Structure 1
Amino acid sequence: MPNSDAAFEGSIPVIYERYLSPLLFEPYAVDIAQRIAPLAPRRLLETAAGTGVVTRELERVLGEDTVITATDLNQAMIDVATTTRGSGHATWTQCDAMALPFDGDSFDLVACQFGVMFFPERTRAYQEVARVLASDGAFIFTVWDRLAVNEVTRIIADALTARYPEDPPSFFERVPFGYFDVDLIRSQLIESGFSEVAAETVILPSRADAALDAAIGVCQGTPVRAEIESREADGLQAATDDAARALVARFGTDRLESTMQAITLTARL
């Protein structure tokens, strides 16, 4: 995996938080927090926490009785998270999910929303989760299902392919929408020390105030931005406009309303 695939830096974190969070991440943040709340963990670790979309929801539903430690590889994402989360009580740490700086048996629950797809060595990351989990703990995480069933991003990917037919950007299918084989994920978890793995497909609404908002979020607030700029140095806005026009052709000029599909997994030791 190229280093740029996990690079959320420059203006990306701010755009990610403003445009992508409501489009893609906030609905699943509510969903995963609702799954975690009944478990009432006392010590919770979140990996690949990004700009804190899930973190904020966990703070809301769990309250201050739960000690929440949120982590991310990219300090720029943490910087945005800590300036937008208000009076949240989570503690933030910059670290690599494949080398967690915590002792064994440190957490009752580990959560990760749409992060494991970015880990270069997923089995190593899962082994780290197993190491820091209490013996009766749980690992709850979400991955995107295939690109074909995630309409908004698929339309944008198709628009970028049309703009760069000789060398289409491949980030979407390689990384965020490229890790949906439940049998593979289950086998990697078991190899890493987990014994029980449950998976559930979750379909939720995907909404934006306008097509351009969605296009900006996906084209400029993710690492596909680097793929666009490597193909056309001054083409980012034009590519974004192409994506917006494709979305308007499908959804019209009013508020964008679609659906998205992911897989939520719960693993226990």
Structure 2
Amino acid sequence: MTAAYEQHLVPVVFQPFAADLAARAAALRPRCVLELAAGTGALTSALRSAVPSAEVTATDLNEDMVAFGSARCSGATWRQADAQRLPFPDGGFDLVACQFGVMFFPDRVGAFTEVRRVLTPGGRFLFNTWGPLGAHGFEVALQAGLERAFPHDPPRFLRTVPHGYADPAVVAADLTAAGFTVEDEQELTLRGRAGSIADLADGYLTGTPVRAAVEERGADPAVRATVIEEMRTRLGPGPATAPMTAYVFRAAA
């Protein structure tokens, strides 16, 4: 699962936003950075390149991701950690960064409060979250394929989790409730480039929680073929490009 995510999704979907977030981080000139939900290390690697003088601690709840990421980006310190209960002392970091992870936090205000605790006074929290599902060209096509494969009970993971925190007003309110001051909020649309529609579909079907949702519905080989066919109908045979919209927040402790 981790390898499929890294090989098929990271270059297409996550790398463009990692470069953007790392550039924003570099402008803040941090000395000690904590990354949450680091996954396989796309943002971690970008941070190490953009801010080479900073100490970077990368964390993820998933031990497999930590193992993979630590091999991919050995220049950072890697630890398994829950964003709801961070194993770090108060005020130890001047920047906390998170790429497309806050949507997965069960208690966002609680997690944001933890982030503020480990930040120095005036330290920054920099993160992004996906916009509505309809503003992500690849995932609109994928969801359409899933709905075609399972017309009576399509998986709803994409709509409810990755794209389930897509109201900037709600995000800003949660940050304020956790004691942050929102300094900047931007809508950002970047284009992803997929060399192979089949590989992209495999990335989602085998490298994300979509896999479990499909397996729960008694998946058979026809599901993959149906999803790929629908994605090719909507995106073209490949290579394909599509817009992807996110919101980027910077908040001060």
> What is the TM-score when the length of structure 1 is the normalising length?
0.91
Provide the residue aligned with 1:260 in structure 2. 244
Deviations 1:20-72 (A, max 9, x none): 10111000000000101121100000000000000001111111x21100000
For the Cα contact (< 8 Å) 1:215–1:241, is it kept in 2?
A: no
The CA distance in 2 between the partners of 1:134 and 1:203, in whole Å, is: 31
2:50 to 61, 64, 73: 61
The CA distance in 2 between the partners of 1:251 and 1:151, in whole Å, is: 8
1:183 to 169, 187, 190: 169
Provide the residue aligned with 2:179 in structure 1. 193
Shift of 1:198: 2.1
Provide the residue aligned with 1:76 in structure 2. 64
Provide the residue aligned with 2:234 in structure 1. 250
Mapped pair 1:43 → 2:32 = yes
1:98 to 43, 68, 84: 84
Q: What root-mean-square deviation, in Å, do the aligned CA atoms of Structure 1 and Structure 2 show?
A: 1.1
For the Cα contact (< 8 Å) 1:33–1:58, is it kept in 2?
A: yes
- 1:102-251 counterparts in 2 under 5 A? 102-232=88-218, 234-235=219-220, 237-251=221-235
The CA distance in 1 between the partners of 2:144 and 2:248, in whole Å, is: 26
The CA distance in 1 between the partners of 2:68 and 2:225, in whole Å, is: 26
3-state SS in 2 of match to 1:15: helix
Query: Structure 1 residues 84 and 196, CA, compared in 2 at 3 Å: closer, same or farther?
Result: closer
Shift of 1:240: 2.4
Shift of 1:224: 0.9
The CA distance in 2 between the partners of 1:41 and 1:83, in whole Å, is: 24
For the Cα contact (< 8 Å) 1:113–1:143, is it kept in 2?
A: yes
The CA distance in 2 between the partners of 1:238 and 1:92, in whole Å, is: 39
Deviations 1:137-195 (A, max 9, x none): 10000000000110111111111112112211010111001101111111111110112
Provide the residue aligned with 2:23 in structure 1. 34
- Gaps of at least 5 residues in structure 2 are none
The CA distance in 2 between the partners of 1:254 and 1:159, in whole Å, is: 16
2:14 to 7, 22, 25: 25
Shift of 1:199: 1.1
Shift of 1:197: 4.0
Shift of 1:83: 2.3
For the Cα contact (< 8 Å) 2:9–2:203, is it kept in 1?
A: yes
Provide the residue aligned with 1:8 in structure 2. none
For the Cα contact (< 8 Å) 1:155–1:246, is it kept in 2?
A: yes
- Give the AA of the match of 1:68: V
3-state SS in 2 of match to 1:225: helix
- Gaps of at least 5 residues in structure 1 are 1-11
- Give the AA of the match of 1:61: A
The CA distance in 2 between the partners of 1:197 and 1:189, in whole Å, is: 11
Provide the residue aligned with 2:5 in structure 1. 16
For the Cα contact (< 8 Å) 1:210–1:256, is it kept in 2?
A: yes
3-state SS in 2 of match to 1:245: helix
